[in-house]
């Protein structure tokens, strides 16, 4: 079960990435539920799956980053984007080859945390979150000063916030997803599904449109697969998802 759950989590993460990139909301939310159930079922995160878990959590939070009333953390002050930033920090620690993209995404998340508060007229909260976001390091000082000035204007449409928009953040996340998928293309379930499609001489579209035919030899295997998927959703319900 543990091995199968690992395969399923990798596949769920792959589906989340694809549906996030395609902006297909219904499919994204369906795989969000599967990924969250699988992640909650982990007693601890295996080292080789840390990036997978962190990326799932990041995408789920970015997708709902403008919903300030949604809570992912016990601290009610922490917005979805601020929670996303914590998982982006964890992802950065697992990698060392994407410094420029890492920095771009980190700055965009930081700016949008402030911007989303301002868009909702929460100027006091924007000032408070600014204090949490930045350390006293000199490298952070220029952006911290600019954002403090922006907050004082109480104008969510100043050039700085428009130039580093939420849509740009989404675009950068999509760029990261492409790199992640390329590096992690050895997804077991996808490989096996691809082999199955190839063995049947079917293209992906043909497979989707083909009526389901199950012979007696396949029926037991199908029931096993269905039972595993069902157990995921039962786990989700038990955990209160």
Class of domain 1-184: mainly alpha
Sorting pLDDT into bands at 50, 70 and 90, what band is 202? low
Q: Which residues contact 224 (CB under 8 A, 6 or more apart)?
A: none
* Cα dihedral 225, 228, 231, 233 sign: negative
Identify the three-state secondary structure at position 4. helix
Mean pLDDT of the residues in the chain: 84
pLDDT band at 117 (very low <50, low <70, confident <90, very high): very high
Note if the pTM is more than 0.95: no
- Per-residue pLDDT reduced to its tens digit, 67-88: 998 999 999 999 999 999 999 9
Domain boundary assignment for the chain: 1-184, 188-238
Tens digits of residue pLDDT in 122-137:
999 999 999 999 876 7
Q: CB-based burial of residue 150 (10 Å sphere; 0-12 exposed, 13-18 middle, 19+ buried)?
A: buried
């Amino acid at each position: 079960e543990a091995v199968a759950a690992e395969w399923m989590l990798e596949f769920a993460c792959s589906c989340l990435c694809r549906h996030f990139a395609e902006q297909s909301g219904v499919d994204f939310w369906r795989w969000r539920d599967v990924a969250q159930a699988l992640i909650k079922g982990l007693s601890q995160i295996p080292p080789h799956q840390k990036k997978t878990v962190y990326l799932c959590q990041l995408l789920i939070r970015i997708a709902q980053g403008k919903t300030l009333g949604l809570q992912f953390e016990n601290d009610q002050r922490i917005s979805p984007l601020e929670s996303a930033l914590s998982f982006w920090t964890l992802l950065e620690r697992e990698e060392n080859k994407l410094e420029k993209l890492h920095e771009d995404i980190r700055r965009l998340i930081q700016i949008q945390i402030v911007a989303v508060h301002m868009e909702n007229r929460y100027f006091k909260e924007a000032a408070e979150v600014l204090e949490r976001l930045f350390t006293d390091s000199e490298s952070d000082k220029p952006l911290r000063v600019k954002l403090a000035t922006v907050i004082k204007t109480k104008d969510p449409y100043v050039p700085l916030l428009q130039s580093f928009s939420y849509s740009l953040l989404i675009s950068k996340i999509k760029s990261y997803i492409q790199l992640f998928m390329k590096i992690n293309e050895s997804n077991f379930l996808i490989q096996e599904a691809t082999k199955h499609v190839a063995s049947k001489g079917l293209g992906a579209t043909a497979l989707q449109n083909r009526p389901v035919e199950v012979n007696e030899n396949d029926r037991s295997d199908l029931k096993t697969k269905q039972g595993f998927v069902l157990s995921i959703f039962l786990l989700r319900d038990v955990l209160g998802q």
